[in-house]
Amino acid sequence: MIWVMMNITPRTLVSAAVVILLSGLGGQVSAQGTLPECPIGGVPLVACPAINDAIIQGIVAARLSGSIVNSPEDVIRVNVCNGEATLTGQVRGEMAKENAGLLAQSVPGVVSVSNQLLVLPEHSPDIDLVERVRAKLSEALGEFNTVNVYAANGTVQLTGFVYSELERDVAEVAAQSVEGVASVQNNIFVRGSGSDF
């Protein structure tokens, strides 16, 4: 790694020497091999304020997507606030839920994990229903839509976001049209309508 050092002063050089010395004395490195970069005056600091909730959230999501999410019905959403990671969504099997919590906890900066993942049985009619609703939403809104689908006993819940009320209504009608759907809970946010965060 190369960092461009701006405003090189004796204080910066001493700080760099201390960081290099301390990192050579057995500093911990994340499972990915490196910590996120944070060059302040060219010096990477482990306790850098740039390592915030958004960065932690991205790292947790990346680890989970490469390890836990193995099929279309496995959906995990990550939210990090003050270092507390909350996992929501659904996975197949108790082992996947447990592993998701452990992977999230292993990310530097995560102080606690609230694992609220729903565990789907290995084979469930709800899984088939989720797949059929997702396929219908892909037809109606496009393959790369941002709507998440959950199902339990014929009740389908839609979450995520769209960019217009029309898209929100289209998603609900598309989900309702799938055979086996008893009811639809439409919890989709419309971006730009004042309901986004």
Residues contacting 182, CB < 8 A, separation 6+: 153, 154, 155
Cα separations in angstroms, 82 against 42, 62, 87, 112, 151: 26, 19, 14, 10, 31
Question: What pLDDT was estimated at residue 167?
Answer: 93
Residue 141 forms part of a structural domain: yes
Instruction: Say what the pLDDT of residue 33 is.
Output: 33
Query: Is residue 105 within 8 Å of 162, Cβ to Cβ?
Result: no
Split into its structural domains, the chain has a count of 2
**Which run of H or of E encompasses 156?**
strand 155-162
Low-confidence winner among 5-19, 68-82, 100-114 (lowest mean pLDDT): 5-19
Pair 154, 180 in one domain: yes
pLDDT at 77 over 50: yes
Q: Residue 165 in 3-state DSSP?
A: helix
- pTM for the complete prediction? 0.41
Domain boundary among 77, 93, 120: 120
Tabulate helix, strand, coil % of the chain (nearest 5). Answer: 35, 25, 40
d(CA 98, CA 157): 24
**115 and 148 inside one domain:** no
Q: Which domain holds residue 83?
A: 53-120
Which one has a higher pLDDT value, 181 or 144? 181
Does 21 have pLDDT greater than 50? no
- The verdict on 152 and 116 lying in the same domain is no
**Arithmetic mean of pLDDT over the chain:** 74
Last residue of a domain, one of 61, 88, 120: 120
Q: What is the mean pLDDT of residues 10-26?
A: 39
In a domain, 44, yes or no: no
CATH number at residue 131: 3.30.1340.30
Considering only CA atoms, give the Rg of the chain.
Answer: 22
Domain match, 110 and 133 both: no
Cα separation, 35 vs 45, whole angstroms? 9
- Which stretch of 8-12, 58-62, 88-92 has the lowest confidence by average pLDDT? 8-12
Q: 71: pLDDT confidence band, cut at 50, 70 and 90?
A: low
Same domain, 96 and 130: no
Domain annotation covers residue 136: yes
* Residue 86 vs residue 30, higher pLDDT: 86
User: For residue 164, how far is the Cα from the chain centroid?
Assistant: 24
Same domain, 110 and 146: no
pLDDT of residue 39: 44
From 120, 138, 172, the end of a domain falls on: 120
**Mean local confidence (pLDDT), 168-192:** 92
